Structure 1
Amino acid sequence: MSAEQLAGLSDLFVVAAVLLYIFGMIGFAIELAFGRARADKAAVAAKQPVLVGASGEAPSSEAASGEGALAEAAPAVGDSGSPGWAVRAGQVALGLAWLGWAANLTAIVTRGLAADRWPWGNMYEFVVAISFAAVTAFLGTQVRHNVRFLGPFVMVTAALGLGLAVRVFYTAAGPVVPALNSYWIAIHVTAAILASGLMTLAGVSGVLYLMRGDGVSRLPARADLERVAHRAIVFAFPVWTFAVIAGALWADRAWGRYWGWDPKEVWSFITWVAYAAYLHARATAGWRGKSTTIVQLVAFGCLLFNLIGVNIFIDGLHSYADVD
């Protein structure tokens, strides 16, 4: 198969991935919308007055938090309290998400074969890869924990990312600038993409946390959303740290210095500091809930600006967006 045919095949698989993600989003949304709602138990526990009985003993923690009655009245989405057809819609959506993931992966592989290089040398390829990494983070988490409640939001994020790549960042397959012709692209950029995918999953969870009210809702409990975000960042942070270090080593090979205060380098460091502040706040200061979620979302905003804004709006040695 010629390079042109492989490039065309890659483009088709990107379109297929977008469609599969959209249909998956619809299925996940049906399960979320028509499943049974539940209360945020932590919020209920905080508001429930503690009563002392005739025996002089306070009620058990379960009774004080109101979990017993509310858990039965409003079971979680995807459990036995949801209609069977809604649960099946979620299961079908999960299958579509896996098919979209496979199409996304195939698009990346065929793009690399068409260009005869590592397939993230410009913004188009980078955004396609980050969309893939975000879905990978979601599906990988789903293997161990039921997080289908994140499905509609991760799928729409991935579909929008691929749509943005095709409509705004598209670049024909071809060679890259000499500075990118290095094995370091497979080390540095791969680590950055993996960390970015996990941080995107955390960002989606953080946005949902702020959207979720205290009462009964079809969104998951805030504690569950915060737990997903924290675990994703705990794994992503050392990977991002490695990506920054690998970038400095690559810079020394390419330009003869480890650090030159290039805009990309500066914003990579700012992003690192922001996520370090989030982890420090949780581990040392004991912050939880809305305060740490806001810090996490500020860090996610830094990440997005570093990945997209710097490449488009700021000139520097890392300006490889190929966008007019």
Structure 2
Amino acid sequence: MHLASAVDPQLADLSNKLIYSAMVVYTLAMFAHMIEWTFGSKGAVAVRSTEQAGSLGETVAAADRKAAKKVTVTVAGAGGGTTTLTRTAIAGEGATVVTTGRGAEEEDGPGAAGTSVRADLAGRIAVSLTVLALALHGGGIITRGLSVSRWPWGNMYEFSCAFAFAMTAAYLVLLAAKKKVRWLGLPVVLAVLLTLGIATTVLYTDSEQLVPALHSPWLAIHVSTAIFCGGAFYAAFIATLLYLGKESFEKRTAAGLTTGPLGTSASIWRRLPAASTFDKLSYRINALVFPLWTFTIIAGAIWAEAAWGKYWEWDPKETWSFITWVAYACYLHARATAGWKGRKAAYLALAAFACWLFNYYGVNIFVTGKHSYAGI
């Protein structure tokens, strides 16, 4: 995009309307996801396994609802081999797990291994609404940039809109890649609504031209990578939180504790993937994005030299970007060399994300420096 002095008020107004429209559709998607989580207690995995056994002349014994019980059935396969189906029930409507002779495992849960017909329909509607919201959201970002003929992330309002867009896009890309992460839809939509809510109320600024220091091609490079990293770090953060909750639930279940928010009666935790799944997902996302965050800092230093004559001056934004880099480096190092897994690693990951969050909101709003482009 080329710089221009004029601002197109009609495009700027259209941008605002598209962002607000996207928020409305995101809200509808949130309610649809909540319906999926509420009515998703009976899994389609159990239905499929029973139908498969029945079609081959086998029946699966009913699990005792008052005590944990496992039933294993071996059925003949079409190619002459055998398949082992295992059904586990835990005190009432327990989690249903189906394993095959190859050791594969599927867990019941929102968008994981399937759910009830009503909940599955709600989940599909939620995803469709999220796609529509993303289209409106993207239109709002594009028209914002067109209204001033520049890249649309010159202040915190614009950056927040782009950051929320990146979170949603990353989630939908995972779904398109056939990953079983529909359970991520609810926390993603909640975070997007929170981010856009803060952007449109606290951080909003009228469409205007950039300050001279931002007139650089590095705006597209440096800020774009920072936006992508923020969206990925948030996804890892959600996975870490869910790991901590699921891990506590699994421990209480193993100990026979059935009361409290993490007891075996908490059906939502039963329907989520295993704790180890969240732990691995968080680590993989952080490990994948860390090199890009490193590049973001390096690109920022190159831009600083072009704008201010020095690569590094320990400006508050530079300092906290480096602190965030060190925090994530410590987390990855602990996982790779010290063998840290589970809660200790999760706490490090949460601390690293807290540094990133403060670097974005805290430094931009409450600390004065050369990167004070919040516009508020």
- Scaled to the shorter chain, the TM-score interval is 0.7 to 0.9
Please name the residue that 1:171 is paired with: 205
- Equivalent residue of 1:69, what SS? strand
Question: Structure 1 residues 79 and 140, CA, compared in 2 at 3 Å: closer, same or farther?
Answer: closer
Amino acid at match of 2:146: L
Equivalent pair of 1:196/1:236 in contact (CA under 8 Å): no
Q: Which residue of 2 is the match for residue 232 of structure 1?
A: 285
Q: What is the CA distance between 1:284 and its match in structure 2?
A: 1.1
Residue in structure 2 matched with residue 74 of structure 1 by the alignment: 95
Q: Aligned residues: percent identity? A: 46
CA distance in 1, matches of 2:213, 2:364: 16
Q: CA deviation at 1:272?
A: 0.7
For residue 291 of structure 1, report the CA deviation from its aligned partner: 1.2
Structure 2 counterpart of 1:146: 180
Say whether the 8 Å CA contact 1:251–1:258 is kept in structure 2: yes
**Larger CA deviation: 101-110 vs 202-211:** 202-211
> Structure 1 164/80 Cα, relative in aligned 2: closer, same or farther at 3 Å?
closer
Query: TM-score if structure 1 supplies the norm length?
Result: 0.86
2:337 partner SS? helix
1:318–1:36 distance in 2 versus 1, CA, 3 Å:
same
Equivalent position to 2:27, from 16, 22, 27: 22
Q: CA deviation at 1:80?
A: 6.8
So what's the TM-score if we normalise by structure 2?
0.75
Q: Distance in 2 between matches of 1:151 and 1:259?
A: 39
| Structure number, greater radius of gyration | 2
The RMSD of aligned alpha carbons is 2.1
Unaligned runs of 5+ in 2: 1-6, 44-67, 69-83, 97-107, 254-263, 265-269
Post-superposition Cα deviations, 1:147-197, rounded to whole Å, max 9, x if no partner, equal 011111110000110010000000000111100111110000000000111
Q: Which has the higher contact order (CA 8 A, sep 6+)?
A: 1
Amino acid at match of 2:162: A
The structure with the largest strand share of the pair is 2
Moved more, 105-114 or 276-285: 276-285
CA 321–218 in structure 1, closer or farther in 2 if over 3 Å, else same? same
* Selected match of 2:296 from 225, 228, 243: 243
Partner deviation per Cα, 1:242-273 (whole Å, 9 max, x = no partner):
10000000000000010000000000001111
Number of aligned residues: 296
Residue 106 of structure 1 aligns with which residue?
139
Q: Is 1:33–1:218's contact at 8 Å kept on the other side of the alignment?
A: no
Pairing 1:1-324 to 2, within 5 Å after superposition: 3-36=8-41, 68-70=87-89, 73-75=94-96, 76-77=108-109, 78=111, 82-144=115-177, 145-212=179-246, 213-214=249-250, 215=253, 216=264, 217-323=270-376
For residues 84-109 of structure 1, the C-alpha deviation after alignment (integer angstroms, 9 at most, x for no partner) is: 01001001101111111111111111
Structure 1: which amino acid aligns with 2:367?
I
